[in-house]
């Protein structure tokens, strides 16, 4: 069931993103007087198609990993004399720039609308309150203490752990100090901290910013009660059910969920005798954790089960909500922030500060899409917005075959007053196909390694 949910989620996500992207090209092309021959969501043989009154074919194709808008163009075949004015290649350079840039801009617009809707609807998040501080960690050396709430990192507000994560990731490669502001309670005087770092998070795959800081987030006590049991996991095979409370493992009492997790992780492939409380009765169950290999080569136990959610105290909850007008500014700011973070991450990957193993392909995207859909509408829309921004940024990279590569050619044409020679464009196209193909293969390789 999890695989099917992931597949459906990624089809919905990619379908929405591709449709918006291609509709951006289509809408501007129509307004510039260009005849559109086909609007396709997906590649390959059409599963469904129809024609509108302008002669444009709208199609949904079998391979949902992209899409395209095919426009009338004399470079791709003969064009009737009475239609030559509608050919893409006959348009002014500024019209062609507008048509090509409209796709990525549509992705940024989609992200803006998604963030605006979230800000207006309102979200409830958990305040980033510190639980424990590791000894001799950057956080300890910077004076952070248990019970403090992190209110900003490098001057940026951090109302949630997700916001803390993003700001710490944005600082990858930093040397010197990170500015962190905390408070002990609402209304308390903020305290400034300088956290010493060197080559911050460089080479980590994936980056673990909060753990690297030496901070463990505060969480309410979690009793060892199962809230989720995967259909194909060892927990289900052993007979464990949702709502079961783990009392002991091999005769040793289990105090909370993390104590149970530690026993499972420390015993890959080793049978464990659990005493479980179910419906007021104690039962003995034998559970053998599966073996999972980590990136460092170590093995841990894994059973395919999750903890029952705990109730967070009201003082640790934060509601983020804005009026319709105020949400516009917040959505613009969020879209810009995530766009710059994506672009900066690409730069850092090129210079070696971020490991290429952080590249994600269709398998990882499908898994995250499924996880976000199961987590709720808010999580799914956040993921959709971020992926839309990533698609927009990637398409604007100056690589031939991408929209950004075409924009480079058209900007050169605007400056020179004549088009870039066809031979140069054809050579650039081959390079672009090789680069994009190599990146796709690398992303797929790292996807398979994560599996």
* Residue 390: other Cβ atoms inside 10 A: 22
Looking at 5, 22, 154, 314, which residue is catalytic? 22
CA distances from 391 to 183, 347, 436 (A): 37, 16, 13
DSSP string, 370-392: HHHHHH-HHHHHHHHHHHHHHHH
Whole-number Å distance between alpha carbons of 432 and 329: 36
**Burial (0-12, 13-18, 19+ Cβ within 10 Å), 387:** buried
Q: Which residues contact 363 (CB under 8 A, 6 or more apart)?
A: 444, 447, 448, 450, 451
The 3-state DSSP class for residue 128 equals: coil
Whole-number Å distance between alpha carbons of 381 and 121: 12
Q: Which residues contact 280 (CB under 8 A, 6 or more apart)?
A: none
Q: Beta strand pairing status for 156-157 and 149-153?
A: antiparallel
154 in catalytic set: no
* Residue 399: other Cβ atoms inside 10 A: 19
CA angle 336, 342, 347 (to 5 degrees): 125
Q: Provide the terminal-to-terminal Cα distance of the chain, rounded to the nearest Å.
A: 17
Please identify every residue annotated as catalytic. Answer: 22
């Amino acid at each position: 069931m999890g695989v099917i949910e992931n597949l459906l989620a990624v089809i919905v996500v990619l379908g929405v993103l591709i449709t918006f992207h291609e509709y951006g090209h289509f809408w501007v092309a129509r307004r510039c007087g260009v005849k559109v021959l086909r609007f396709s969501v997906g590649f390959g043989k059409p599963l469904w198609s129809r024609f509108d009154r302008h002669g444009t074919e709208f199609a949904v194709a079998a391979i949902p990993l992209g899409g395209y808008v095919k426009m009338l163009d004399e470079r791709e075949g003969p064009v009737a004399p009475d239609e030559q004015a509608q050919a893409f290649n006959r348009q002014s350079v500024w019209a062609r720039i507008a048509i090509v840039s409209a796709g990525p801009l549509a992705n940024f617009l989609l992200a803006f609308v998604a963030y605006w809707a979230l800000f207006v609807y309102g979200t409830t998040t958990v305040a980033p309150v510190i639980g424990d501080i590791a000894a001799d960690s950057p956080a300890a050396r910077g004076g952070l203490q248990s019970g403090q709430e992190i209110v900003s990192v490098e001057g940026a507000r951090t109302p949630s752990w997700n916001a803390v994560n993003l700001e710490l990731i944005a600082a990858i490669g930093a040397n010197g100090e990170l500015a962190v502001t905390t408070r002990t309670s609402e209304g308390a005087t903020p305290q400034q901290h300088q956290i010493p770092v060197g080559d911050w998070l460089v080479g980590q795959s994936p980056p673990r910013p909060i753990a690297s800081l030496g901070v463990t987030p505060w969480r309410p006590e979690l009793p060892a009660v199962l809230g989720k049991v995967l259909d194909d996991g060892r927990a289900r095979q052993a007979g464990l059910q949702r709502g079961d409370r783990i009392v002991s493992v091999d005769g040793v009492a289990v105090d909370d969920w993390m104590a149970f997790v530690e026993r499972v992780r420390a015993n890959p492939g080793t049978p464990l005798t659990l005493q479980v409380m179910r419906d007021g009765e104690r039962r003995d169950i034998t559970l053998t954790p599966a073996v999972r290999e980590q990136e460092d080569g170590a093995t841990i136990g894994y059973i395919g089960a999750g903890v029952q959610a705990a109730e967070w105290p009201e003082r640790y909850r934060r509601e983020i909500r804005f009026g319709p007008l105020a949400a516009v500014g917040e959505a613009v700011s969020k879209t810009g922030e995530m766009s710059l973070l994506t672009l900066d991450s690409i730069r850092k990957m090129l210079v070696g500060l971020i490991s290429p193993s952080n590249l994600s392909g269709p398998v990882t995207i499908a898994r995250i899409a499924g996880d976000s859909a199961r987590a709720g509408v808010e999580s799914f829309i956040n993921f959709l917005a971020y992926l839309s921004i990533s698609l927009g940024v990637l398409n604007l990279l100056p690589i031939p075959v991408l929209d950004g590569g075409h924009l480079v050619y058209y900007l050169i044409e605007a400056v020179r007053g004549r088009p870039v020679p066809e031979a140069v464009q054809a050579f650039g196209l081959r390079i672009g196909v090789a680069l994009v193909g190599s990146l796709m293969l690398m992303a797929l390789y790292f996807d398979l390694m994560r599996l």
